[in-house]
Amino acid sequence: MSRRSSNFSKGEVDYLLKLIEARKHVLECRKIDRKSSEEKVKAWIEIELEFNKKLGHNFRNAEALRTKYKNLKKSKKTCSAKKFTPTTKFAGQFENLVDIDSFYEDDTIDTQDKGEDSIESLPSVDIRKAQIHEQQISDLAKEHNAKMKRQELEISILEKEHHLKIAKMELEIHILETQLHQKKKENNNIIYDP
């Protein structure tokens, strides 16, 4: 059973925004290719680790932090839209409409652990694209493993060939030493033969 997470404090939101600002070029990138998606997931995991390292009294997973950030952006857009609505009757009154504490309201999120690598932990990513990317990564991993095994076999064969060449050379040296020894004996016999 999932339970509701506690409210974000102002300090938590400020620190989250600071962490996001440092990675904004990755998180706000509009590219949807596999590399960009992987970089975004990695960035959110880094944010989760740094966030919980400093403010670990209420554990927040990457999904919860991402949801909070999306809700903050949505609130900011709503506030901006209300501020710039062209009405003469309420002109200037929307400036104070959204209290800063509204940014710290609850984000009702499911904190049931789905695992950081699961597709469900990325609610804004198109599930089909994520499945395709996962399949491509799996295929690449299999291909890489096959290449590694092939290279290991090639290395093993080269090592065996190397050892055989060494053994052959050692035998040739032994034969030459034996022949040299025999020649020396023959020469000694010839010299001392009466």
- 94 and 26 housed in the same domain: yes
Q: Would the pLDDT of 64 be above 50?
A: yes
- 41 and 62 housed in the same domain: yes
CA distance 77 to 124: 18
**Per-residue model confidence (pLDDT) at position 174:** 93
Q: Would the pLDDT of 80 be above 90?
A: no
Question: Dihedrals φ, ψ of 111, to 5°?
Answer: -100, 15
User: How many CB atoms neighbour CB 59 within 10 A?
Assistant: 12
Tell me the three state secondary structure of residue 87: coil
Helix axes 34-54, 62-83, angle to 10 degrees: 100
Residue carrying the six token digits 């009154």: 93
Q: Which domain holds residue 110?
A: 10-124
Mean pLDDT of the chain: 76
What residues are paired with 110 via a beta bridge? 4
pTM for the whole thing? Answer: 0.42
For residue range 98-152, list pLDDT tens digits in order. 444 444 444 444 444 444 444 444 444 456 666 677 777 878 878 888 888 888 8
- 145 and 75 housed in the same domain: no
CA distance 70 to 130: 19
Q: What percent helix, strand, coil does the chain show, rounded to 5? A: 70, 0, 30
Q: Would the pLDDT of 191 be above 70?
A: no
- 174 and 188 housed in the same domain: yes
- Total number of residues shown for the chain: 194
- 26 and 78 housed in the same domain: yes
Tell me the Cα Rg of the chain: 35
Final residue belonging to a domain, choices 79, 99, 124: 124
How far is CA 61 from each of CA 25, 27, 28, 49, rounded to the nearest angstrom?
Answer: 21, 16, 19, 9
User: How many CB atoms neighbour CB 109 within 10 A?
Assistant: 19
Tell me whether residue 4 is in a domain: no
Angle at 34 between CA 148 and CA 17, to 5 degrees: 120
**Per-residue model confidence (pLDDT) at position 107:** 43
- 96 and 79 housed in the same domain: yes
Final residue belonging to a domain, choices 124, 142, 162: 124
**Per-residue model confidence (pLDDT) at position 165:** 92
- 115 and 165 housed in the same domain: no
Overall domain count for the chain: 2
For residue range 3-40, list pLDDT tens digits in order. 777 888 888 899 999 999 999 999 988 888 899 989 99
- 120 and 177 housed in the same domain: no
Final residue belonging to a domain, choices 124, 153, 169: 124
Q: Quick one: average pLDDT of 64-69?
A: 91
Tell me whether residue 93 is in a domain: yes
For residue range 159-187, list pLDDT tens digits in order. 999 889 999 999 999 999 999 989 888 88
